[in-house]
A and B are shown apart, each in its own frame.
Chain A
Amino acid sequence: EPEVTQTPSHQVTQMGQEVILRCVPISNHLYFYWYRQILGQKVEFLVSFYNNEISEKSEIFDDQFSVERPDGSNFTLKIRSTKLEDSAMYFCASRDTSGSWDEQFFGPGTRLTVL
């Protein structure tokens, strides 16, 4: 069964360092998402991506964040200069249609720890 994969499963970094979180969405999917979950808090939407451009982003997704689909299979989230408050679980998701009624398929997440 096709699934969304994410690497690494756990990333530890120093404050101020750049990190890139990687996702491989399901191959025929067209819509891609990043969410994050700070420990003990809600899963929060960060950004959606379609047709090689951002379709929507939240207030959290400031200039320190960027997304890219560099090669037609990977979908990456870059944080340029990490802060302590960026420590969270980051989930990638994908969907094959535009319909809001359709399921988003989630990856297992990357736990980011900023020291």
Chain B
Amino acid sequence: AQSVTQLGSHVSVSEGALVLLRCNYSSSVPPYLFWYVQYPNQGLQLLLKYTTGATLVKGINGFEAEFKKSETSFHLTKPSAHMSDAAEYFCAVSGGAAGNKLTFGGGTRVLVKP
């Protein structure tokens, strides 16, 4: 079984400040990890993913995440927040069987203050 915990359902940052969204996972098999973003009235869009190899993963819109196996974490960061980053962010895990489902965390809503 797999599970994901996102610490903090809401995060408020100032424009230009660091964005840090926390994600911890539990998986009995080597995990594949994803961050999705959801803008208002839109579907989920992939920001980045970790499969194998380099543990620091870069995604779209200046986001990156680091896979830390020892900490079972996959935190998402962006050095400088932009107003357009206001959205809800979901961490997800999959792995194991082919065609496997995604298991999502509870989501973190990001508010960017001018």
Instruction: Mark A residues whose CB is within 8 Å of B.
Output: 4, 31, 33, 35, 41-45, 48, 50, 55-56, 58, 91, 93, 95, 98-101, 103-109
Contact = CB atoms under 8 A, between A and B. Distances in A.
A33 B101 contact: yes
B51 interface: yes
Nearest to A107: B43
Given A91-B43, A91-B44, A109-B43, A104 B102 contact: yes
A108 B52 CA distance: 29
B49 A103 contact: yes
B interface secondary structure, majority: loop
Given A100-B97, A103-B46, 12 more contacts: A33-B102, A42-B105, A42-B106, A45-B102, A48-B99, A50-B99, A58-B101, A93-B102, A100-B32, A100-B100, A101-B51, A101-B52
Interface stretch (B13-21, B63-71, B72-80, B88-96): B88-96
Contacts of A50: 99
Given A107-B43, A108-B42, A101 B49 contact: yes
B104 A103 contact: no
A55 B63 CA distance: 33
Contacts of B42: 108
